[in-house]
Amino acid sequence: MQLSEITSLTLSDRIFEQLQTAIVKGEIPTGSKISEPELAKAYGVSRGTLREALSRLEERHLVVRSPNHGARVITLSYEELIDIYQVREALGGMACGLAAERMSDAEIADLKRLLDDHERSIREDEGLSYYQQEGELDFHYRILKGSRNRKILGVLEGGLYQLMRMYRYQFSTSSPRPLQALKEHRRIVEALEERDAELADLLMRRHIRSARKSIEERHRKSREQEE
């Protein structure tokens, strides 16, 4: 009958979420070995419950498990981050093109207001606040929802976005170009308003690509400094 939208989460669900945020925030360090008895005691649950959560974490590629050797938190690599940005470029572009055809006028207007908030936040905090970073994700998230394609959102939410957050926490690899990004966001919204799917696709791809390029640039420089 599905009356209650109050989804009473199961204990294993909560452990899964707690572990996920703990890993993403780096509270459980990358590459560290996970001891099941230890973690189970720390979270006050049985090993069975914990193992169920670990299985899901493994499926999300946040932990790696090898039989009889136990589980480890994944280790991040620069190459993987670039890979993720390429996936975002492809899917974000596709979603944005669809959104241009499918978003309601009200949703687009909301998006515009969101950008106004961002602009204010950037001016006040000089664009360094954590809020601004999550705001960037919020912008993309709304467009993904606007695409009306559940799979795109599902793919990005099912692992990829958590990984990006993880990189941000660990390497503070946030976009160092908030004003430029804002300008690009505004152009994207313009394309949405004009219902220009092709342009929206192109602008979104370019937007994500330049974010990636800026990361590549930074990485190149830090490599040079090392030598």
Partner DNA sequence: CCTGCTGATTATGTCGACACATTTTGTGTA
Partner DNA sequence: TACACAAAATGTGTCGACATAATCAGCAGG
Q: Which stretches of the chain bind DNA, using CB under 7 A?
A: 10-12, 33-38, 44-49, 51, 65, 67-71
Among 39, 56, 71, 108, binds its own copies (CB under 8 A): 56
| CB within 8 Å of 41: residues ≥ 6 apart | none
Which of its own copies, DNA, none has residue 37 at its interface (CB below 5 to 8 Å by kind)? DNA
Angle, helix 178-193 to helix 197-226, in steps of 10 degrees: 170
165 binds its own copies (CB under 8 A): no
Give me the phi and psi of 129, to 5 degrees please: -70, 155
22 binds its own copies (CB under 8 A): no
Sheet holding 70-73, edge to edge: 33-34, 70-73, 63-66
136 binds its own copies (CB under 8 A): no
Determine the Cα–Cα distance for residues 46 and 201; give it in Å rounded to an integer: 48
Which of its own copies, DNA, none has residue 172 at its interface (CB below 5 to 8 Å by kind)? none
Determine the Cα–Cα distance for residues 143 and 66; give it in Å rounded to an integer: 38
60 binds its own copies (CB under 8 A): yes
Binding residues for its own copies (CB under 8 A): 2, 7-10, 12-13, 48, 51-53, 55-56, 58-61, 66-68, 80, 83-84, 86-87, 89-91, 93-94, 98, 149-152, 154-155, 158-160
